Amino acid sequence: MNEILEQALLYDFYGELLTSHQKEIYEQFILEDLSLGEIAGDAGISRQGVHDLIKRCNRTLQGYEDKLHLVEKFLAIKGKLHDINRILDEYEAAGDNAGKLVADIRKISDEIIEEL
């Protein structure tokens, strides 16, 4: 997984545990893709200050994941749900939708994926 995507995922899970100041800066970098210079200008702090804050946030978020492994767990579940959908696709492609079974299971599976 690329680094920005991984950080965005960690932020999605554990971001609420950062301070509101950290969240504000970190979101501009990770989600809005602003440069260090732009963020520094907006926040009235140095470019180096922004850099350090983001590095510290990365470490904090990764620290939570190292302890809780919830992103890892969610990705594993997501992978298995995609397996379910793939099997349903194969049945459908073979012209076999087993009555309402395929549609019923797919509906729930999609709902779970939405939630992840």
Instruction: Give the C-alpha separation, 69 to 13, whole Å.
Output: 10
Does 77 participate in binding its own copies (rule CB under 8 A)?
yes
Tell which positions 5-34 bind its own copies, by CB under 8 A. 13-14, 16-17
Query: What DSSP line would sit under 40-74, residue for residue?
Result: HHHHTS-HHHHHHHHHHHHHHHHHHHHHH-HHHHH
Residues 6+ apart with CB under 8 A from 53: 22, 25, 26, 45
| Residue recorded with tokens 């509906």 | 107
Pick the closer one to its own copies by CB: 55 or 78: 78
Region near its own copies per CB under 8 A, out of 3-11, 29-37, 48-56, 81-89: 81-89
Interface residue with its own copies among 21, 52, 70, 89 (CB under 8 A) is 70
- CB of residue 15 to its own copies, shortest distance in Å: 9
CB atoms within 10 A of CB 107: 10
Does 99 participate in binding its own copies (rule CB under 8 A)?
yes
Q: Which amino acid is at 27?
A: E
Q: Which residues bind its own copies (CB under 8 A)?
A: 13-14, 16-17, 64, 67-68, 70, 73, 76-77, 80-81, 83-84, 87-88, 91, 96, 98-99, 101-102, 104-105, 108-109, 111-112, 115-116
